[in-house]
């Protein structure tokens, strides 16, 4: 395998692994801030117990997230040095803002959350929860902004063979930053609700800390439904942006090979890029045209409008995109059933539903990973859309053998880290919160 | 001085300052990791030492993260040349940092200290500090740069007495710095033991430091004309001299500021020996990677430096506030049972 392919694989492994911790962090910080706010306002110790328990989980996730995050700047400079040199003046700037404004805030304030409960007032503790929430979300903003700039670059000029910053705000708020940030954030919050609901379900099945985990589950159900619906809308809005700014990627997501009036919306199917068709296609006729323009008979641009060598890898991204949507629908159904049970006041009497919630914990994680695989592979053959092709972004001075060594080592090492993380994380979940439940 | 030159120098100075902050903050974390098996007599003392690291390490590593990202944005050509040139060594250092952070999280096995994670924490702290410092002293002493500007680290670059002795001296200074911090925070037998170690480390360090400077002079004779080098030497030697006086029970609170000052002196020497290069070339080479030929355009450079400076001030203020809170004694709280 060549250097570029190995480097892509390594980047996929390292970012995919790191992202699992990043998205868990974001989801948990919302819960912690919520319960700390309730504790500050109402003073009920049960809210503090839930929050303390979630902080213990966050502490483990954060350590793994920070540690695995070290790998990313290494990859930009080591494997993708021509990209780093070409795009440093814009992309590097966004990383500086990320590290200064958000990582610092998050990492330092987290010390108070984990170690400062009995050293500060309730207000200062609440403020720390707010800062960790803001820091982690701001961090996500800068990273999504940098990634969006690679998808839909703006606010730049190319001078002497490299990028120069021509408009700061245009680069930061490039055409897809805001909608992609919303889509990513909502995805992490959904993962948070499924994690909280799944942990609650585990304890309710075991009859441990039932009062406390009933609260946590009750609070999680409606956001599961509402956020999943919002997510469908942000996803749709993102696709509309793509039609405007990156139409070939949208065509690949939807499996539209030929420009057509009254395009169907495929729900399932096996894509065949070579044959330029979708086998066993199942979908709604005319619906894609309607969703994209409001008219059932309007024209939708197909991949045939673009040179073949600029097509994204259709088979992969059609599949990952549709699997992501499928998982999203499954999450919506699970949330909706919970909402129905809650309204009917049967939420805590249906053990089968607890089992569903427990096994549904990985669903949003899978959907997130699939979404990112689709979006990153969907940018191929570009690293920066329209500006720098992947084959021209990788390092030329390094032999492929060095990346083969590093990739093999990282794969084994991350497998080991996964095992020790899960052992510790599940151990804390099983132990549950400190103290005994109170009758409320 | 034209405008871009000013901002290039400011960018270089900011990175040096960030690295100084990193070395004094995560430096004592690293030092405690190395020392924990030697200076403690029981689990209680080990817990005390770990308590001086666990709440702060991630906040301290912020300085390394911002230094790396500032190097990327301000000097992208240097960043994209350095990383591939030291690809596997950098990867090894990152893996050591990952192992160190995660093993620290596993050191408390219930109420007892878990031996294996503690050993991993200690060994990886040593290796990360050793390789990090050795790498820095190698690029200060000079490496081979080929005609295309790519760096080639040869056995000749590595197997020189200069970087080796400098690494040993700096590593010992790091340990002295950690002991200085701990001495101010401990009492009883532990404090006595720490002061004893401080005296020994200080003596070895005072023998190694002049030797390291002489060898650096041999590798880079041209640096001796730079006033900043002499300022660095003066600060380091004065701080070390005063440190020896402070190594007694009534004055031990001055040890930490003085070891910090000594570290600052060493960073001035490093900055003086490098400037205006990002990486020094071995003597026979002529293709240099300087702050002038590797920087980002003026507008990016200005934004990076200004935001880095504002960010550093904010981080210092926030860290002082947070560490002040975490250093407080526990107050009575609601009981969860």
Chain A residue numbers touching B299 (CB-CB < 8 A): 164-165
- Residues in A closer than 8 angstroms to B150, CB to CB, are 397
The ipTM is 0.91
Which residue in chain B is spatially nearest to A68 when comparing CA positions? Answer: B98
**Is A416 part of the contact surface with chain B (CB cutoff 8 Å)?**
no
Task: State how far residue A359 is from chain B, nearest Cα, in angstroms.
Answer: 27
Q: List all residues of chain A from 97 to 116 with a beta carbon under 8 Å from chain B.
A: 97-101, 103-105, 107-112, 114-116
Contact B153, B138 (CB under 8 A): yes
C-alpha span between A99 and A139 (Å, rounded): 8
> Residue A257 — very low, low, confident or very high, per pLDDT cuts 50/70/90?
very high
Tell whether the torsion through CA atoms of A200, A202, A204 and A207 is positive or negative. negative
Q: Is the dihedral of CA B233, B234, B238, B241 positive or negative?
A: positive
Q: Sign of dihedral through CA atoms A407, A409, A410, A414?
A: positive
Dist. CA A98–CA A191, nearest whole Å: 23
Please state the rounded mean pLDDT for residues A151-158: 97
Residue A116: phi, psi to the nearest 5? -110, 10
Average pLDDT over residues A291-312: 94
How far is it, in rounded angstroms, from Cα B304 to Cα A278? 48
User: Residue A228 has which token pair?
Assistant: 């999943």
Of B73, B95, B333, which has the smallest distance from its Cβ to A96's Cβ? B73
| Contacts B101 to A, Cβ<8 Å | 63, 66-67
Nearest C-alpha in B relative to A157: B297
| Residue whose C-alpha is closest to residue B7's, from A98, A154, A89 | A89
In chain A, residues with a C-beta closer than 8 Å to the C-beta of B62 are 99, 103-104, 107-108
Handedness of CA B28, B31, B33, B38 (dihedral sign): negative
Distance to chain B for A388, nearest Cα, Å: 16
Region of B288 on the Ramachandran plot (φ > 0 left; ψ -120 to 50 alpha; else beta):
beta
* B81 vs A: CB within 8 A: yes
Question: Which of B11, B80, B317 is best to mutate for the A interface (most A CBs within 10 A)?
Answer: B80
H-type helices in chain B, by residue range?
A: 3-39, 43-51, 57-74, 76-85, 87-105, 115-141, 155-158, 161-185, 188-219, 227-246, 255-274, 298-326
- C-alpha to C-alpha distance for B14 and B19, rounded to whole angstroms: 9
Q: Considering only alpha carbons, which residue of chain B is nearest residue A101?
A: B311
Note whether A93 contacts B297, CB cutoff 8 Å: no
Cα-flanking dihedrals φ and ψ of residue B145, to 5°?
-120, 125
> Is the C-alpha dihedral spanning B27, B153, A91, A58 positive or negative?
negative
- HSE-CB at A313 with a 13 A cutoff on CA atoms is 12
Q: At what angle do helices B87-105 and B115-141 cross, to 10 degrees?
A: 150
What does the alpha-carbon distance between residue B105 and residue B99 come to, in Å, rounded to a whole number? 10
CB contact under 8 A, A89 and B337: no
Q: What is the pLDDT of residues A106-152, one digit of tens each?
A: 888 898 999 889 889 999 999 999 999 999 999 999 999 999 999 99
Q: Nearest residue on chain A to B150, judged by CA atoms?
A: A397
- pLDDT-based confidence at B218, cuts 50/70/90? confident
Confidence of residue A91 (pLDDT cuts 50, 70, 90): very high
Q: Is A155 on the interface with B (CB under 8 A)?
A: no
Q: Is B55 near chain A, with CB under 8 Å?
A: yes
Q: Is the pLDDT of residue B331 over 60?
A: no
DSSP A278-334: EEEEEEETTHHHHHHHS-TT-EE--GGGS-GGG---HHHHHHHHHHHHHHHHHHHHH
B186 to chain A, minimum CA–CA distance in Å? 19
> Is A88 in the B-facing interface, judged by CB distances under 8 Å?
yes
CA max distance for chain A? 71
In this model, does residue B123 exceed pLDDT 90?
yes
Say yes or no for a CB contact (<8 Å) between A114 and B55. yes
Does the pLDDT value for residue B95 go beyond 90?
yes
| A323 reaches B (C-beta below 8 A) | no
In this complex, which of A97, A406, A434 lies closest to B307 when CB atoms are compared?
A97
CB atoms within 10 A of CB A347: 20
Structure letter (DSSP) for residue B281: B
Q: Are B13 and B307 in contact (CB under 8 A)?
A: no
- The whole-number average pLDDT for the span B124-153 is 86
Distance (Å) from the C-alpha of residue B53 to the closest C-alpha of chain A? 11
CB-count exposure of residue A121 (10 Å: 0-12, 13-18, 19+): exposed
The nearest CA of chain B is from the CA of A282 a distance in Å of 46
Helix (H, G, I), strand (E, B) or coil at B261: helix
In the predicted structure, residue B324 carries a pLDDT above the cut 70: yes
Which residue from A minimizes the CA distance to B79? A77
- Chain A, 246 to 305: residues with Cβ < 8 Å from chain B are none
Measured CA to CA, the distance from residue B237 to residue A58 in angstroms comes to: 45
- β-pair partners for A165: A156
Domains for chain B: give ranges and CATH numbers. Answer: 3-298 (1.20.1630.10)
CB neighbours of residue A276 within 10 Å: 15
Task: Name the one residue in this structure whose structure tokens are 């539903």.
Answer: A353
Taking a C-beta distance cutoff of 8 angstroms, is the pair A313, A319 a contact? no
Dihedral angle over CA of A271, A275, A281, A284, nearest 10: 100
Report DSSP state, residue A173. Answer: T
HSE-CB at B146 with a 13 A cutoff on CA atoms is: 9
Res A269 pLDDT > 50: yes
Residue pairs between chains A and B whose CB atoms are closer than 8 Å: 209
Query: Where are any strands of DSSP class E within A324-418?
Result: 382-384, 388-389
Q: What is the DSSP letter of A273?
A: T
Question: For the residues A274-301, what does the mean pLDDT come to?
Answer: 94
pTM, full prediction: 0.93
| Residue B164 in this model has a pLDDT that exceeds 90 | yes
Q: Would the pLDDT of A364 be above 90?
A: yes
Residue A332 burial (CB count, 10 A)? 18
Residue of B nearest to A164 (CA): B297
pLDDT > 70: percent of chain B: 93
């Amino acid at each position: 395998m060549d250097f570029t392919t190995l480097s892509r694989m390594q980047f996929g492994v390292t970012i995919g692994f790191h992202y699992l911790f990043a998205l868990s962090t974001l989801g948990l910080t919302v819960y912690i801030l919520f319960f700390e706010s309730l504790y500050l306002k109402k003073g009920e110790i049960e809210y503090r117990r839930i929050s303390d328990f979630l902080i213990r989980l966050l502490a483990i996730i954060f350590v793994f997230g920070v540690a695995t995050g070290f790998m990313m700047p290494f990859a930009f400079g080591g494997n993708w040095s021509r990209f780093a040199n070409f795009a440093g003046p814009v992309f590097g700037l966004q990383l500086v803002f990320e590290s200064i404004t958000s990582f610092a805030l998050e990492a330092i304030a987290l010390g108070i959350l984990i170690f400062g409960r009995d050293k500060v007032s309730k207000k200062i503790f609440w403020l720390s929860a707010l800062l960790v929430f803001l820091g982690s979300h701001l961090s996500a903003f800068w990273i999504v902004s940098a990634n969006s700039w690679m998808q839909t670059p703006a606010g730049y000029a190319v001078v002497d063979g490299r990028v120069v910053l021509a408009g700061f705000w245009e680069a930061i708020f490039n055409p897809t930053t805001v909608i992609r940030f919303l889509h990513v954030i909502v995805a992490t919050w959904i993962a948070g609700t499924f994690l909280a609901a799944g942990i609650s379900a585990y304890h309710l099945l075991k009859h441990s800390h039932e009062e406390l985990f009933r609260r946590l589950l009750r609070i999680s159900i409606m956001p599961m439904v509402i956020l999943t619906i919002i997510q469908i809308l942000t996803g749709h809005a993102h696709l509309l942006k793509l039609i405007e700014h990156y139409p070939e990627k949208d065509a690949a997501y939807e499996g539209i090979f030929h420009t057509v009036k009254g395009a169907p919306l495929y729900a399932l199917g096996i894509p065949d890029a070579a044959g330029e068709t979708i086998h066993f296609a199942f979908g709604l006729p005319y619906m894609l045209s309607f969703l994209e323009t409001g008219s059932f008979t309007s024209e939708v641009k197909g991949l045939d409008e673009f040179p073949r060598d600029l097509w994204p890898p259709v088979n992969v991204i059609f599949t990952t995109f549709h699997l992501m949507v499928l998982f999203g629908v499954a999450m919506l159904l699970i949330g909706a059933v919970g909402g129905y049970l809650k309204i009917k006041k049967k939420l805590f009497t249906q053990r089968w539903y607890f089992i569903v919630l427990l096994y549904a914990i990985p669903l949003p994680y899978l959907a997130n990973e699939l979404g990112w695989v689709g979006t990153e592979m969907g940018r191929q053959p570009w690293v920066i859309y329209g500006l720098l092709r992947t084959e021209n972004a990788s390092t030329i001075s390094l032999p492929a053998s060095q990346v083969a060594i590093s990739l093999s080592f990282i794969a084994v090492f991350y497998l080991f880290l996964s095992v020790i993380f899960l052992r510790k994380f599940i151990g804390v979940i099983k132990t549950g919160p400190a103290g005994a439940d109170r009758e409320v | 001085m034209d405008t871009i030159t000013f901002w290039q120098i400011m960018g270089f100075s900011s990175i040096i300052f960030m690295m100084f902050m990193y070395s004094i903050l995560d430096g004592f974390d690293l030092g405690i990791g190395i020392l924990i098996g030697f200076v403690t007599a029981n689990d209680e003392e080990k817990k005390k030492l770990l308590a001086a690291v666990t709440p702060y390490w991630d906040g301290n590593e912020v300085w390394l993260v911002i230094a790396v990202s500032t190097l990327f944005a301000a000097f992208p050509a240097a960043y994209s040349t350095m990383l591939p040139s030291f690809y596997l060594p950098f990867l090894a250092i990152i893996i050591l940092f990952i192992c160190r952070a995660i093993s620290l999280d596993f050191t408390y096995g219930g109420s007892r200290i878990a031996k294996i994670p503690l050993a991993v924490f200690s060994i990886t702290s040593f290796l990360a500090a050793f390789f990090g410092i050795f790498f820095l002293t190698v690029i200060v002493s000079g490496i081979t740069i080929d005609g295309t500007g790519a760096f080639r680290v040869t056995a000749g670059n590595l197997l020189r007495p200069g970087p080796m002795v400098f690494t040993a001296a700096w590593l010992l200074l790091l340990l002295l710095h950690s002991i200085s911090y701990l001495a101010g925070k401990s009492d009883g037998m532990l404090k006595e033991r720490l002061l004893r170690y401080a005296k020994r480390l200080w003596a070895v360090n005072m023998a190694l430091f002049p030797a390291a400077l002489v060898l650096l002079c041999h590798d880079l004779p041209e640096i001796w004309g730079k006033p900043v080098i002499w300022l660095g030497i003066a600060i380091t030697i004065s701080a070390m001299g005063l440190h020896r006086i402070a190594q007694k029970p009534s004055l031990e609170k001055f040890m930490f500021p003085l070891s910090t000052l000594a570290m600052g002196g060493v960073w001035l020497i490093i900055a003086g020996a490098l400037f205006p290069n990002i990486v020094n070339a071995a003597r026979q080479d002529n293709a240099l990677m300087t702050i002038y030929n590797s920087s980002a355009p003026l507008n990016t450079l200005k934004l990076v430096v200004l935001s880095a400076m504002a960010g550093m001030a904010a981080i210092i203020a926030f860290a002082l506030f947070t560490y002040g809170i975490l250093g407080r004694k526990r107050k009575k709280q609601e009981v969860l049972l």
